[in-house]
Amino acid sequence: MMKITCISASNIEPARSHSASTRACEIIRQLIQEKHGKNVDVDILPLIDYEMKPCRMCGSCIDAGICVRDDAFNRIYAAIKESDALFVVCPHYAPFPSKLMILLEKLQEIWYLSWCQDNHYRAAYAGLPLGLVGHGGQSDQALPYYQKALLDPLAAAFSSVEMKVVGAGDDAPNGVVFGITDLRQNPGSIFVSIDHDWECIRLKLAPLVDNVMTEVLASL
């Protein structure tokens, strides 16, 4: 049984399971199950459900192997280490959601402090195939910005802790990005309604999912 973890980095309280990030994760799960059926378990982790704490670089993780202050992070960390592949769907905030930054910071510090102790150190998830998806609240005209502001830095950050970034082709070496088709102000609410072309997004996600799963199957 293959295990795939898909992280939804959205942190919008009113959206929760209906956020664009989580819906993209659901499409990724559907695409995987359509081709691989019961041979794969796809677990979606919405970061909004995990109250992680910022890293203080206390160094206790070196002996403990986990963060001694953060059970929420440890649950995500365990899921990553048990996975055959990872997908991360990240919305544009400022530019990154704070919980995703906490996750990256702790992955980085555990890796770095471990490497300082032993420069032959390799993470338990070293070489883990990673598919990245970025999106935001503007039309497709903003896609080059999302590529530069979201995918490229995320690819560098995850690569630095030994994950293997898998692209969606020559034009999308670090993953895929998508925007919106329309937004409308809701009377009496500070939040807008946002429309997406989900069939187009599904078509964008399909080659990324195929490439990640090819990497998984090659490593088994």
Residue 206 confidence (pLDDT): 98
> Looking at the DSSP assignment, which residues form a beta bridge with residue 86?
5, 130
Interior CA angle at 20 toward 15 and 24, to 5°?
135
pLDDT digits (tens, 9 = 90+) for 128-174: 999 999 999 999 999 999 999 999 999 999 999 999 999 999 999 99
Q: What is the pLDDT of residues 105-134, one digit of tens each?
A: 999 999 999 999 999 999 999 999 999 999
Whether 17 shows a pLDDT value over 80: the answer reads: no
Q: What proportion of the chain, given as a percentage, has pLDDT over 90?
A: 88
pLDDT above 80 (res 16): no
- For residue range 32-58, what is the model confidence (pLDDT) as tens digits? 999 998 789 999 999 999 999 999 999
25 band by pLDDT with thresholds 50, 70 and 90 = very high
For residue 37, what pLDDT is reported? 87
Question: What pLDDT is attached to residue 2?
Answer: 94
CATH homologous superfamily of domain 2-219? Flavodoxin domain (3.40.50.360)
Whole-number pLDDT of residue 102: 97
Q: What is the pLDDT of residue 118?
A: 94
pTM of the model: 0.96
Give 12's Cβ-side CA count (13 Å radius): 19
The candidate with the shortest Cα–Cα distance to 42, out of 84, 5, 73, is: 5
Tens-digit pLDDT profile for residues 69-78: 999 999 999 9
Per-residue pLDDT of 178-213, as tens digits, reads 999 999 888 888 888 899 999 999 999 999 999 999
pLDDT(61) > 90: yes
Instruction: Look at residue 67 and give its three-state secondary structure.
Output: coil
Which residues lie closer than 8 Å to 45 by C-beta, 6 or more apart?
5, 6, 7, 8, 76, 79
Q: The tokens of 88 are what?
A: 């991360």
Over the stretch 77-99, which tens digit does the pLDDT of each residue have?
A: 999 999 999 999 999 999 999 99
pLDDT score for 55: 94
Among residues 32, 22, 35, 24, which one has the least CA distance to residue 198? 24
